[in-house]
Structure 1
């Protein structure tokens, strides 16, 4: 995969390029970019062509960077690249071009070059059409892929001109308060926030039988001794974790603390049912705050 100006340096004229393309030996991929082979373009060639078209420096970003980081499955969609602000590259078939004034700060040295993990999260969030979607995307992508709040906060400070600023700053604060997994994020968004349930304290330390353990969600700040445990099987299947969870269960029972346990299927498929059960315990223990019905509760 070559840019035509690269070929000229090797003494290959534009006439030779045109002749080879016309003969079907080579193929024009983008304006000024040629593949020195015929047939379908593998993903690596499509990526190389997009970066060459961006007229280096250019870097993979947004959805394509997320795929290269291993967060999302690879597809046949367009390649997203980011170029420095002022670059003349325009969108082409198969290439989405983004521009950044902070290009030098957001790109990491990699093969192929791409935006940093934190900047990829930010790009995906700022591309959303509204603040609610931007906040959900930042929380979901960051928590699912272990991109920390401090890392994202530092990147936001380095690139202050970004969309949905209030929503993203709020999302980073929530990450910093203990949303450490996709399951915890979905519980917060689809159970607590969507139904007006008071926000629990996250990752609350408890001293159970001489061991310091962390509870996922504690509602003691509302005056209700209720623990909600979010049982993500990926992190709760080994013997040591199972032993830890039993100790937490026993400690909660002995201390008179109500507890509810939910997994991914509960929160992802039936968040309204989960919310109703949490509200039953909150009401039973005397909490009288307002709640609400979400769009799923109201139905079509």
Structure 2
């Protein structure tokens, strides 16, 4: 029974679990004194005959705050499989009445969650997927990408909105609302406005908006250079029919001798410097600035 429990729980065990399978407190202490078990927190131990994995680290951190604690934020996102890398600091949510204190490697959140916003996965309490995505998106520099990927594969936008509205007032709530609004139906038009501002700030010349090419109107056209720029919203909006229409449109424009660049809302908001550089390479123009506008992130894209 002990080996099965350890195998299913990444080598982590609580004192309460040990007693449930018939072990005494003295038996636990002997194992700790013999350095066979490592104490990870109050009443939580790791059997030190295997690697201390990220799963073991997160499980031990959550369990050390009691039976009502749950993983949240990026820790929950990793546990659900929506992010590739486990966070260095484990966010743990506990009820407001809890007496626990934050410890190194943990970030404690005190709030009372509804039952529908907590699930158990592989024996660990974690925030439910919809709430996890909403919260993790504002903890991560690539939060918009995280939310977009989740919307493509795991959840619907309406579920995210409901989870957000059930938990208003939490840490990061305003930022999450902005992301949800962008993911709704205004991302494309907002992306067009951001693109126009980037072009102006970078000093590009000779471009026109909504310019007719091959029977279509392209979002931005560099007429002399014959470069067309098309703007998309978030990837999860693109179903197979829209995808086919966009490709037919792009092919028609290209067959008229135009070079086509496509940028998404994520490109324009997360990687503005890369967008400017690609437009400069396509048009042969030299932008007056190589820096993103104030408030925009400037970093190397990171794939998950």
Q: What TM-score do the two structures reach when normalised by structure 1?
A: 0.61
The offset of 1:244, in angstroms, is 4.5
Tell me the residue number matched to 1:51: 62
Deviations 1:235-257 (A, max 9, x none): 99x9x998644532366699x9x
Deviations 1:215-236 (A, max 9, x none): 9x858xxxxxx87155999x99
Q: Secondary structure at the match of 1:113?
A: strand
The offset of 1:177, in angstroms, is 0.8
Deviations 1:108-131 (A, max 9, x none): 343243222321232235557xxx
Task: State yes or no: 1:152 paired with 2:152.
Answer: no
Tell me the residue number matched to 1:162: 170
Alignment partners' CA distance in 1, 2:21 and 2:80: 34
Q: Secondary structure at the match of 2:121?
A: coil
Listed as ranges, the matches of 1:110-189 within 5 Å are 110-111=121-122, 112-125=124-137, 127=139, 137=143, 139-146=144-151, 147-177=155-185, 179=187
Tell me the residue number matched to 1:104: 115
Change (3 A) 1:164 1:32: closer
Number of equivalences:
249
Alignment partners' CA distance in 2, 1:242 and 1:169: 27
Change (3 A) 1:117 1:6: closer
Change (3 A) 1:25 1:195: same
Contact 2:117 2:131 (8 Å CA) reproduced: yes
Alignment partners' CA distance in 1, 2:292 and 2:180: 26
The offset of 1:179, in angstroms, is 4.3
The offset of 1:66, in angstroms, is 1.7
Alignment partners' CA distance in 2, 1:100 and 1:270: 40
Indicate the RMSD between aligned Cα atoms, in angstroms. Answer: 4.9
Tell me the residue number matched to 1:70: 81
The offset of 1:6, in angstroms, is 3.4
Task: State yes or no: 1:271 paired with 2:272.
Answer: no
Q: Gaps (5+ residues) in structure 2?
A: 1-11, 202-213, 221-227, 299-304
Q: Secondary structure at the match of 1:145?
A: helix
Q: What TM-score do the two structures reach when normalised by structure 2?
A: 0.60
Alignment partners' CA distance in 2, 1:9 and 1:46: 22
Q: Secondary structure at the match of 2:94?
A: strand
The offset of 1:9, in angstroms, is 4.6
Change (3 A) 1:106 1:192: farther
Q: Gaps (5+ residues) in structure 1?
A: 198-207, 210-214, 220-225, 280-291
Deviations 1:144-198 (A, max 9, x none): 3325432221112111222454443333222111649xxx99x67974565679x
Listed as ranges, the matches of 1:1-300 within 5 Å are 1-10=12-21, 12-38=23-49, 40-75=51-86, 77-111=88-122, 112-125=124-137, 127=139, 137=143, 139-146=144-151, 147-177=155-185, 179=187, 191=195, 228-229=230-231, 244-249=245-250, 260-262=260-262, 268=271, 270-273=274-277, 295-296=291-292
